[in-house]
Structure 1
Amino acid sequence: MITFLIRAAIFLVSAFLGLVAADLILPGFSLHWNDWWGVLLAVVIFAVLQSILAPWLFKITRRHANAFLGGIGLLSTFVALLIAVVIPAAGIGIDGPVAWIIGTLIVWLVTALATWLLPPLLIKKKVDQRRDV
């Protein structure tokens, strides 16, 4: 159960970092900070969709189009962003094809790095805490 909660927290933090990075770097990609609930909703929607879409798209692509397996992360990021933008209550907006393409790349890269770098930090901290007990 603790592992599940740690993974969920990592997904949420990585989604937040990816969306914030794209918001800060890219014109046309915006989080609506005046509505904190909308930003939180956008992060949760994106994280949940990303965690569901990536394995599903991997399975479909492996079965029907092996050559595209490397792009699963980018494709699932794009689809998750698309769905999050379509939901009116989510506090995210993406305007223009360049923002869509570069935004997908930025969010994918930051979330990939965060999901790779955060677990050792959190697990090491947890192991150190258990050793102290």
Structure 2
Amino acid sequence: MPNFVLSTAAHLIANAVGLLLASLLLPGFAIGVLGLIIVTLVFTVVSVVLLPIIRKISEKKIPELLGGLSLSVTFAGLIITELLVSDFTIGGIANLLAATLIVWLGALIAGILVPKYLFPSLANKKAKT
């Protein structure tokens, strides 16, 4: 299977894990049962689009933001996803801040473990480069 497909699948699974963790741990952070798929897809697309934009703006105007680039993208991705998907509710500023950390951390851990255990060929190719 092509690396792009495996990388995309790993990224989607990692984001789904992060979003699911936030919905389990935070009261008021709600994703509908069928909405998890849609929320994960929208969040992932928004994150992929925002990453280069925020990176470019950061490099030119706010270089300090580069250290927290993934957190910034997660924060913005959650806000935009809530605006776009009706079956998704963050539940306030405190939840938004906590969800940013939970989704980022969950996706980070899953992003390390998913390629290693579910897609070992992808993990092996990354290790060689």
Interval of TM-score (by shorter of Structure 1 and Structure 2) = 0.7 to 0.9
Aligned to 1:101: 97
Deviates more, 1:115-124 or 1:62-71: 115-124
Deviates more, 1:92-101 or 1:59-68: 59-68
- Once the two structures are superposed, the pairs formed by residues 1-80 of structure 1 within 5 Å of their partners are 2-33=2-33, 36=34, 38-80=35-77
Aligned residue pair count: 124
**1:108 deviation in Å?**
0.8
- Alignment root-mean-square deviation, CA: 2.0
Uncovered stretches (5+) of structure 1, i.e. residues with no partner: 129-133
Q: Is the 8 A contact 2:115 2:122 kept in 1?
A: no
Q: Is the 8 A contact 2:54 2:69 kept in 1?
A: yes
For residues 98 and 127 of structure 1, the distance between their equivalents in structure 2, rounded to whole angstroms, comes to 36
Matching residue's letter, 1:108: W
Deviates more, 1:111-120 or 1:1-10: 111-120
For residues 17 and 64 of structure 1, do their structure 2 counterparts lie closer, same or farther at Cα, with a shift above 3 Å needed? same
Max Rg structure: 1
CA deviation map 1:35-90 (0-9, x unaligned): x1x2211110001111221232112201221112111111111111111111144x
Give runs of ≥4 in structure 1 deviating > 6 Å: none
Uncovered stretches (5+) of structure 2, i.e. residues with no partner: 125-129
**1:116 deviation in Å?**
2.2
**1:126 deviation in Å?**
6.8
For residues 39 and 126 of structure 1, do their structure 2 counterparts lie closer, same or farther at Cα, with a shift above 3 Å needed? closer
Is 2:45 the counterpart of 1:84?
no
Aligned to 1:131: none
Deviates more, 1:62-71 or 1:73-82: 62-71
**1:123 deviation in Å?**
4.1
TM-score using structure 1 length: 0.83
TM-score using structure 2 length: 0.85
For residues 41 and 117 of structure 1, the distance between their equivalents in structure 2, rounded to whole angstroms, comes to 23
